[in-house]
Amino acid sequence: MPVARALLWDGGVELRVAFALGLALAACGDNIIVPPPAPRGQGSEATSDLVINEIAPRGDGPDWVELYNRSVTPIDLCGVFFTDAVDRLDHYLPLGGVMPPAPCPARLLAPGDRLVIHADDTPLVEGAPVDPLHAPFALAVADEVHLVSTDGAVIDGLLYLYPPGPEAPADVTLARDPDGSGAFFPRAPSPA
């Protein structure tokens, strides 16, 4: 599954972009040339049933990511990792922590339900319980988030740069529009 990409364009400024794996780039001297943005939106539309629906990379503020079940059936989060690097599966959704225990208890996300995970750099302490709603990493204004299965397949993901500059505004997030399926757009926060 391709990872979504968030493109941020600002009038006459040519490029403010975070690119996903597989985006074709052409180098021309010191310049990078990318295709112009789609007429509507930033990023790719969702294709899986479990999606990253909204992100709040706040810099110094509270970071969070909203997951959404866009299917008509419950989704068991057992076997799903939430991470900021596809090669480091460090947050197991049902229980938190690095590795899933066996057997994994079911944690169902009902159709149309949302799950907000706080990316607040909660430390993992060996032997201590881990809250699955608090990730052991924070979001930077230029970062990535992914949902990955235990076999390493990317379920959904987003690489982004938002906004260009050192801080993201506290009153704006990147969210899919239409909700749960579309490309990512800046909008007012709406966590579940």
Q: What is the CATH number assigned to the segment(s) 4-177?
A: 2.60.40.1260
- pLDDT at position 60 is 57
Distance, CA of 56 to CA of 88 (rounded, Å): 21
Please determine, for residue 17, whether its predicted confidence score (pLDDT) is greater than 60: no
Q: Cis omega (within 30 of 0) on the bond before 166? A: no
With b meaning 16 or more CB within 10 Å and e meaning fewer, what string describes 23-44? eeeeeeeeeeeeeeeeeebbbb
Which pLDDT band holds residue 3 (cuts at 50, 70, 90)?
very low
Average pLDDT over residues 40-55: 75
| Average confidence score pLDDT of the chain | 71
Q: Which residue has the tokens 């709406």?
A: 190
Spell out the alpha helix ranges (H) of 37-88: none
Please report, for the chain, the start and end positions of each structural domain, with discontinuous segments joined by +: 4-177
Q: pTM to 2 decimals?
A: 0.72
